[in-house]
Amino acid sequence: MKSKAFIFSVTALYFVMLFVLFMGLITYTYHNAVYKQTTSVVDKTASDYIQGNDSTSIPTNGWCVRRIVYDANTQSSTQSPREIKTYCEDYGTQRFI
């Protein structure tokens, strides 16, 4: 017959294990990114601007990137224009930015 101390130890160990399990689950849920985006679509900004045709019409099965282009070295003593460049293409030629 097992002693009470042994049963108590196993039970305690069981709850410690449960506690660790719960804390792991909480940490995973709390800190894990739930929305990972690898492609930039319209209204998102890409890290690189792909020189495109500046098309502003969004294709039915496609995606667009929109960026501001700023060239400080324009030959003007007033602020350079903040040009908005939009480039769209079909999913058929997916690009990851």
Partner 1 sequence: MARKGLFELVFILVMLVLMLPATMHHSAIVTYSAQAQANDLLLLTDQAIADALADGSHSGCLASSNQVASYVNNLQTAYQDIGNNCEILVNVSGTNPYTGDANVTCFKNNGDTTTYIKKRMTFNKTVTATSGGGTCRVIVIDNLSSGANQVDYNLST
For the bound state, the minimum distance from the C-beta of residue 36 to partner 1, rounded and expressed in Å, comes to 7
For the bound state, the minimum distance from the C-beta of residue 50 to partner 1, rounded and expressed in Å, comes to 13
For 60-92, b where at least 16 C-beta lie within 10 A, e where not — what string?
A: eebbbbbbeeeeeeeeeeeeeeeeeebbbbeee
Neighbours of 16 (CB within 10 A): 10
Smaller CB separation from partner 1, 9 or 74 = 74
Interacting residue ranges for partner 1, rule: CB under 8 A: 15, 18-19, 22-23, 25-26, 29-38, 40, 43-47, 66-68, 70-80, 82, 84, 97
